[in-house]
Chain A
Amino acid sequence: MDEKIHLDLQDFSEEQFMESFLKEIQSEEAVFILGIFLALALVVLTVVFFGNFWGSSKARNAVLLLGLCDSGKTLLFTRLLLGKFVRTQTSITESSATYKSKDDRGGSWTLIDVPGHESLRVQIVEKHKAVARAVVFVVDSSIFQKDVRDVAEFLYSILTDNIVAKNAPTLVVACNKQDISMAKSAKLIQQQLEKEMNTLRLTRSAALSSQDGAVGGSVYLGKKGKDFEFSQLPNRVEFIECSARGSKDDGGADIDAIEKCLAKL
């Protein structure tokens, strides 16, 4: 019985409290209410602001491994992480892992190995491009002559992407498979790519717009009127040679250059 009475009293008191609260609010002057609302709005704004800033600086810590099919990305991924050799097949999904550079100074990055197959790479790059701090573009140096147009097209589509152009991540072009005797040097690859990108600037800007009227990639690389050079880009660009497989099968891979680059990020 006592309890019941107690409960009743409690309910009653709560109601009263609510009513009194409302009455108080209504009786307050308008200024106070306005002040309260303004304070709340400010708090919300600051939270959102910080969230943005935090989000952007926190999020951009990924290093993307991009390149055509069979250029050696997955093996490079393994070598960078663990230094050991594994057999690989064509990747179907992306793999990501945390990479800690050997120097003590270097930070830790999320290394993302993106499949090179044409039907997959566009969607996966879409997912991860916003968080890219650096892009390691792996090129197969031994068959580069044959594939130069495909390589250039992929590189061009990445560089002219709006988000990538805005963030300007560091671009490291890794000329892989240097252990094969036919491999081209990094300097030669750079020259060929520059020539090809020059032509692509023309043809891609003249390409047809897509059916809903959107014109893709309105970013213009380099300077108008002058031949394209990688030094004209706002990103930091480096061309290095490496060999993920190494000259002997079990021997260490020749990837010191890449590791140094990543440490400098």
Chain B
Amino acid sequence: MLDFFSIFSKGGIVLWCFQGAGVSESFTGPVNALIRSVILQERSGNNSFTHNALSLKYKLDNEFELVFVVGFQKILTLTYVDKFIDDVQLHFRDRYKNELEQRGALKFLLNNFEFGDDFHRLLREAEVSSKAKAPASMRNFNESEKSKKTVKSMIETKDGDKSKEQGGKKSKNAKKEAESGGDQAKAASQTASKKAVENGNEGLTQEEIIERNRAKFISKQLGGGKAEKPSKSPKPQKPKGKVNRVWDMSGKSIGELDYSGTNGNNSSDAQNQDPDATAEPLIQVDSMKGDLRGVDYESSDDDDDDEDEVVQEEERVVVANTKKGAKKGGFGGMFGMLKGLVGSKNLTQEDMEPVLEKMRDHLIAKNVAAEISSQLCNSVAKKLEGKVMGTFTTVASTVKQALQDSLVQILQPKRRVDILRDVLEARSQRKPFVITFCGVNGVGKSTNLAKISYWLIENGFTVLIAACDTFRAGAVEQLRTHQRRLNSLHPLEKHGGQPAVQLFEKGYGKDAAGIAMEAIAFARNQVFDVVLIDTAGRMQDNGPLMTALAKLIAVNTPDLVLFVGEALVGNEAVDQLVKFNQALADHSKTDKPRLIDGIVLTKFDTIDDKVGAAISMTYITGQPIVFVGTGQTYSDLRSLNARAVVSALMKA
């Protein structure tokens, strides 16, 4: 039932492979996709991956640098696969230990790894063992304990109809042969409760019984009582006919519920607000006189207290754990340390755990998002598990080095990043190169757009800025000021009489997607090289605005969609990027939606060495950081240096 199983070295040479019967297509493609998206992007925390109709599971053997991959159809849920991979790995290692311990890449090529028979044997064993665990068959009624009891003992003396019910139920049980366990349990609990009730209730009236039951129930709730389950809700005493429901706001007539008069005719049209600003119900003129009121502190205080308590508890637990761990270390630890110095020690999860904890906290302190730090640390653990350490290296240094390597790997762009080259290509095809800037409010879209247009003009391209931010007051004027300043810096003569930068705007309140389309058409007619589209900032969970942005991008298909994010953001980065990508994917009509293609990291000069936001953003999207903004003047635009960022990140 497996589609394929492949064992290959980390250097890329396939040692042995198995292709299931009836499977015609090669598995090289899916396995390559697995390698590229999971292992190389440091997502090896969980070990399964789906690719089209196939589901792949894999296991890394770090000691001998091997990878074991199994693939099967996604719709099948095979339970034995995890254990099967582990078995195969152990078996393969044991059998070929000698060959694999040689050094150099030739060992993979020279030796013939004939694993077919063992593999089939293990597969048969795995399939058999998975079938063997059928659920235990139910006892039929005659074997159960209930049939041993007499009917009379189970009848309640108190309520005549209750006993009748019980009898009825029992007869039903008697008729059915294979009852589910639940019924039996229910019946058992019923009997227990009935017995209890029966004991105490002789000679009491209906109401007193109810009272006593209620008291018992309440006391049980408060005191965390035992197995005395409350008896099944007594068929409600249908009392005195129906009573009218009374609502809180009852007593008002229809007329009073009509509020349309007071709020009146203030529509939410932003355009007409100017003369009617004073009529806005939210703003009470003269309410802001005097000193500003403080922020509401009570709720936040409560939250802080709770948080502190939780944090303290966690700390206590962590301290207790580490103390226990240290004690257990002791003697065994010293021997292990000596072995580690010599260089024949295998890394295990327990060895790496304390170091990884520290690294996780260190990354979080450097402003990497919390879930990304833990995913990264898990992935590094998976990559190092079972590896043999070199001589005179400690666990801490190995883990740190591995983490550093994976961070550099994440920050390296996965595709070519050369905007100027792409603009030249578009110019040779006689169409403008369109870049869209999107992001949440206040991250620096307009400022960095101006910086990028300055850079492009310096390199001899003509730029058209499309003002598609039609909401924020002064957005168009801001861009016009930038345009004027840029044009004065680059006088007309140098660009053959044409101004270097032009602004395409249609005022406020219009549809952004329409303005963008007109701007691109205008650029094509007037032979502009680049079109920079500035959009309004929007929160990632604002549905309508996200839809509008997705529509703009889907309709205009820009060449580059840049997400502008500030370096100060912390865990929010993950949420922003995920929701932006999701909105873009959901609202596009094609099956290959345009997602975010690159990231602009702004306000980089405000963070000292807490550069973790770069990692969070590239990890989540897999897209490179194209520009880094380091200030407010036109020349404060840089490209990312992965090594410098990682060394700043790993600095103590």
Contact = CB atoms under 8 A, between A and B. Distances in A.
A26 interface: no
Contacts of A211: 604, 628, 630, 638-641, 644-645
A207 B418 contact: yes
Interface in B1-47: 6, 8-14, 17, 28, 31-32, 35-36, 39-41
A218 B363 CA distance: 34
Interface string A81-105: 1101011111111111110000000
Interface of A: 70, 74, 77-78, 81-82, 84, 86-98, 113, 115, 117-120, 122-123, 149-150, 153, 199-200, 202-204, 206-212, 214
B420 A89 contact: no
A93 B416 CA distance: 21
Interface in B47-97: 65, 67
B109 A82 contact: yes
Interface string B404-415: 010011101111
A88 B459 CA distance: 43
B28 A120 contact: no
23 contacts: A78-B109, A81-B106, A87-B14, A89-B12, A89-B14, A92-B40, A93-B11, A96-B105, A117-B36, A120-B409, A122-B412, A149-B418, A149-B425, A150-B416, A153-B421, A200-B418, A207-B420, A208-B637, A208-B639, A210-B639, A210-B640, A211-B638, A211-B644
A209 B12 contact: no
Contacts of B634: none
Contacts of B65: 93
B522 interface: no
B424 interface: yes
A206 B420 contact: yes
A152 B200 CA distance: 92
A92 B10 contact: yes
Contacts of B8: 87-89
Given A149-B416, A208-B455, A96 B104 contact: yes
Interface string B630-648: 1000000111110011000
A117 B40 contact: yes
A59 B2 CA distance: 48
Contact of A212 (B13, B14, B110, B644): B644
Given A92-B40, A119-B414, A210-B640, A203 B421 contact: yes
A78 B409 contact: no
Q: By DSSP majority rule, is chain A's interface helix, strand, loop, or mixed?
A: mixed
Contacts of B628: 211
Contacts of A119: 40-41, 409-410, 412, 414
A88 B10 CA distance: 10
Nearest to A214: B641
Contacts of A208: 455, 627, 637-639
Q: By DSSP majority rule, is chain B's interface helix, strand, loop, or mixed?
A: mixed
A14 B211 CA distance: 103
Nearest to A206: B459
A232 to B, nearest CB: 21
Interface string B389-428: 0000000000000000100111011111010110011000
A83 to B, nearest CB: 10
Centre residue among B6, B421, B638 by max chain A CB count within 10 A: B421
Given A203-B418, A209-B638, A211-B644, A118 B412 contact: yes
A113 B108 CA distance: 14
Contact of A97 (B35, B106, B405): B106
B11 A74 contact: yes
A227 to B, nearest CB: 16
A3 B39 CA distance: 69
A153 B641 contact: no
A153 B105 contact: no
Contacts of A113: 11-12, 105
Contact of B424 (A77, A82, A199): A199
B639 A84 contact: no
A89 B32 contact: yes
Interface of B: 6, 8-14, 17, 28, 31-32, 35-36, 39-41, 65, 67, 104-106, 108-110, 405, 408-410, 412-416, 418, 420-421, 424-425, 455, 458-459, 604, 627-628, 630, 637-641, 644-645
Nearest to A196: B421
Contacts of B41: 119
Contacts of B28: 87, 89
Contacts of A150: 415-416
A92 B39 contact: yes
Contacts of B640: 210-211
Given A86-B14, A97-B106, A211-B640, 5 more contacts: A86-B13, A92-B40, A96-B105, A153-B418, A209-B638
A114 B408 CA distance: 17
A192 B108 CA distance: 37
Contact of B421 (A70, A81, A199): A199
A155 to B, nearest CB: 12
Contacts of A207: 418, 420, 639
Given A87-B28, A119-B412, A199-B421, A74 B627 contact: no
Given A153-B416, A203-B421, A208-B638, A123 B31 contact: no
B415 A82 contact: no
A120 B40 contact: yes
Centre residue among A81, A95, A120, A200 by max chain B CB count within 10 A: A95
A230 to B, nearest CB: 20
A200 B17 contact: no
Contacts of A214: 641, 644
Contacts of A74: 11-13
Nearest to B641: A210
A69 to B, nearest CB: 8
A118 B415 contact: yes
Q: Enumerate the 9 nearest inter-chain pairs by beta-carbon distance, A residue then B residue, closest first.
A: A95-B11, A91-B12, A95-B105, A210-B641, A203-B420, A87-B14, A211-B638, A74-B12, A119-B412
Nearest to A88: B12
Nearest to A112: B105
A95 B65 CA distance: 11
B10 A91 contact: yes
Contacts of B421: 149, 153, 199-200, 203
Nearest to B630: A211
Contact of A92 (B12, B415, B424): B12
Nearest to A210: B641
A78 B106 CA distance: 9
A199 B418 CA distance: 12
A79 B645 CA distance: 40
Centre residue among A81, A82, A89, A204 by max chain B CB count within 10 A: A89
Contact of A91 (B11, B104, B110): B11
Centre residue among A84, A87, A120 by max chain B CB count within 10 A: A87
